[in-house]
Structure 1
Amino acid sequence: MATIFMERISRLFINVQQVRQVPRMLTEAVPSSMPGTLPDTEVPPFFRERYIHGGYRPLHRRWRYYFLSLFRRHNETLNIWSHLIGLMAVAVRLRHLAETVDFFADAHSWPLAILLASSGGYMACSVTAHLLAGKSELCHYMFFFLDYVGVAQYQYGSAVVHFYYAVEESWHRRVVAVFMPAASVLCCLSCLGCCYGKYRNHSLPPWVRKVGQVVPSALAYAWDTSPVFQRLLNSWNARHQDYAHHEQDPALLFHFGQISFFLLCAFFFTNPLPERCFPGRCDFIGQGHQLFHVLLVLCTMCQIHASYLDYTGRRAIYTRLHADDQAAILVVLYAATVVACALIATFMIGKVKRVLDDKVKTK
């Protein structure tokens, strides 16, 4: 027994030593000759962020430089790593859920699978955009349009689990025929609004661009989350009418958490805080967009757990409300929504290319 115990301690010590060597290994993997970052005065106005005065990566380097900048300090480092860690967390959560959920045989689990896929999808698109968009102006547009496609398909993933698992029977009767088609259309409008706002980035006032990006997304969020809002309201009313006999629903706490985190996300997405209060001091850490990323990951993790609790705890309800083949239809609609959003992004990239080509011709 003592020998086995000592062997395990030795292995643990070796593993800890290996982990401690990771930062040094990463530093050695990145060439020391890589260019440093630049102040905002040395990059084109298009790439400058308000109140961020430094930490910009130089343009028109080889792709290798931008991939390796994952391990370097610049003003996008935490934006990249926040969603990269979130993506890892979703992967770990999927692995744990796969131990108890049969995603292949049980069609009623497919909406949960859509949420997991769309959650990982938007984080992967975000990581790609923040990592590679600094290469050129065209890349900036292309990769952030990809980011908006990721956000739009995540909106669909949110809608499908709320409609399938969280919906109350009274709300289901009212919206059953239109809820998911409307959610799909709103996803496409959200993608179009974000892409167009980015396309007109320097020809419209900032508040106009924000309205174009935020309003469609806000409408999509209000519609997609309406089943959760109604369920929380019903639970609140039931608790106050018959407090002694009210049964606590464990999923509601996580639904409340995802809504709270999302509202904080919306605040930091629309307000450049705290960097507006400390211009030039949040170039690496402390940007509102970084807080937006972290809060969105927390929102997503709460949403995944709430949906899993609904999947396990409300089976008698959603199997009665939804036909056996409806989950397959929702999967097909998800694929169609992703394709439609990708076509919107492709169309907007074409408009960007024409504008950039005209700029070159006029020089």
Structure 2
Amino acid sequence: MATIVMEKLGRVFINLQQIKEVPRMLTEAAPSMPGTVRDSDVPHYFRERYICSGYRPLNQGWRYYFLSLFQRHNETINVWTHLLAFFIFLITLGQLTETVDFVGDHHSWPLLVVILSSLTYSSLSATAHLLGGKSELCHYTFFFLDFVGVAQYQYGCALVFFYYSVDESLHRHVHGIFMPLATVLSSMSCLGCCCGKYCNHSQPAWVRKLGQAVPSALAYLWDNSPVTFRVLSGSTPSNDSAIIYHYGHMFFFFISTFFFLYPLLEYCFPRRCNFIGQSHQVFHVFLSCGTMCQIRAAHLDFVGRRKLYSRLHLSGDTALFVRLYVVTFILCALIAVFMLRKVKQMLDLKTKKK
């Protein structure tokens, strides 16, 4: 009996010894993470207003920036807000596949496009905030991709609003131009955002924000016009459950736009928002909430207004609109490549001057 007890105690001791070795093994498996630095230690184009510390050092290995996903720095919350939103959108897609035939029912394709575009913008945004601090070239590259994601999402918004939410009277006037113009406005939004980021090294912050916000606002007003017209016309029945989600989407959009344009929290609490409490973090949260409201509203319209939209749209419209989505994505990607070439020319010129 005593022998058995001693054997069990020995096993427990060995297990405890192995547990104690875990921190050492993790330390050996992953390199030590450099500490964050102050704003004075990074170039000015990486600095955000009122954010004084928590910046990651430049020109580290890729492994460092990937592992910084679990480090405390001033981009951590920006990464995780959109990373969590990505998984929420993915779960939502999985739930909808149980009741919606995304393959056989061509009327469901606009709903699929807006969910896929939501997954794209949230993943590209998280990537930009995670990896954009490696170098100046990486900063521009990943944020240009972020702007491509935003622009293609704007087209997805236009598609579900026009396809499911439009009233017959408005459809009669804009059916031939609505989606092509949505492609143009999305591309202009991508161009404006890329130009605003490109001018970051030479223009004040408000000029950059304005250059990004104005084209995006024009795209939003056009994309959301079917819902706006539907609400203002009074044609929505009182028992329409989708309308509250449309209101929610608009509310969250305007709130998120305010926090995108103006760093209110940083201004009110200077030097206290280096890690959490940044206006851009709030912008991410409200934008994701607005997207969820939009997906919910689109699904309810998809179910509840089927007789109307199946009569308004021709059988080949969905395929045409999906092709336009691909065209929009390609145009925005080409804009990003063009602007990236200008960035490389600028960086080469700066290198030659040194």
TM-score surpassing 0.5?
yes
d(CA) in 1 for partners of 2:26 and 2:148?
A: 35
Amino acid at match of 2:185: L
d(CA) in 2 for partners of 1:344 and 1:132?
A: 21
Give the counterpart of 2:245 among 231, 254, 273. Answer: 254
d(CA) in 2 for partners of 1:247 and 1:192?
A: 41
Q: Determine the structure 2 residue equivalent to 1:9.
A: none
SS of 1:276's equivalent in the other structure is: helix
Amino acid at match of 1:260: F
When Rg is computed on C-alpha atoms for both structures, the one with the higher figure is 2
Unpaired stretches in structure 1, ≥5 consecutive residues: 1-23, 240-245
SS of 1:280's equivalent in the other structure is: coil
1:31 deviation in Å?
A: 3.6
d(CA) in 2 for partners of 1:308 and 1:279?
A: 42
Whether contact under 8 Å (2:44, 2:201) holds in the other structure is no
1:234 deviation in Å?
A: 2.5
d(CA) in 2 for partners of 1:31 and 1:74?
A: 18
Q: Determine the structure 2 residue equivalent to 1:4.
A: none
Q: Determine the structure 1 residue equivalent to 2:183.
A: 184
Q: Deviation per CA, 1:249-276, whole angstroms, max 9, x where unpaired? A: 0000000000000000110000012011
d(CA) in 2 for partners of 1:335 and 1:225?
A: 20
1:341 deviation in Å?
A: 0.1
Unpaired stretches in structure 2, ≥5 consecutive residues: 1-21
1:42 deviation in Å?
A: 1.2
Q: Determine the structure 2 residue equivalent to 1:158.
A: 157
Q: Determine the structure 2 residue equivalent to 1:34.
A: 33
Q: Deviation per CA, 1:56-105, whole angstroms, max 9, x where unpaired? A: 00100000000000011100000000000000000000000000000000
1:57 aligns with 2:48: no
SS of 1:83's equivalent in the other structure is: helix
d(CA) in 2 for partners of 1:139 and 1:206?
A: 20
1:277 aligns with 2:268: yes
1:277 deviation in Å?
A: 1.5
Amino acid at match of 2:125: S
1:334 aligns with 2:334: no
Q: Deviation per CA, 1:281-320, whole angstroms, max 9, x where unpaired? A: 0000000000000000000000000000000000000000
1:294 aligns with 2:304: no
1:109 aligns with 2:87: no
Amino acid at match of 2:317: Q
d(CA) in 1 for partners of 2:55 and 2:209?
A: 23
1:174 deviation in Å?
A: 1.0
Amino acid at match of 2:103: F
Amino acid at match of 2:38: P
Q: Determine the structure 2 residue equivalent to 1:346.
A: 337
Q: Deviation per CA, 1:120-155, whole angstroms, max 9, x where unpaired? A: 000011011000000000000000000000000000
Give the counterpart of 2:298 among 279, 290, 307. Answer: 307
SS of 1:201's equivalent in the other structure is: helix
Q: Percent identity?
A: 58
d(CA) in 1 for partners of 2:26 and 2:322?
A: 45
Q: Deviation per CA, 1:203-237, whole angstroms, max 9, x where unpaired? A: 123222222111100000000000011111223xx
Amino acid at match of 2:281: Q
1:28 deviation in Å?
A: 4.8
SS of 2:201's equivalent in the other structure is: coil
d(CA) in 1 for partners of 2:124 and 2:39?
A: 25
Q: CA RMSD in A?
A: 1.6
Residues 1-363 of structure 1: pairs in structure 2 closer than 5 A:
28=26, 31=30, 33-235=32-234, 247-363=238-354
d(CA) in 1 for partners of 2:177 and 2:350?
A: 45
Runs of 4+ displaced beyond 4 Å: 27-30
SS of 1:200's equivalent in the other structure is: helix
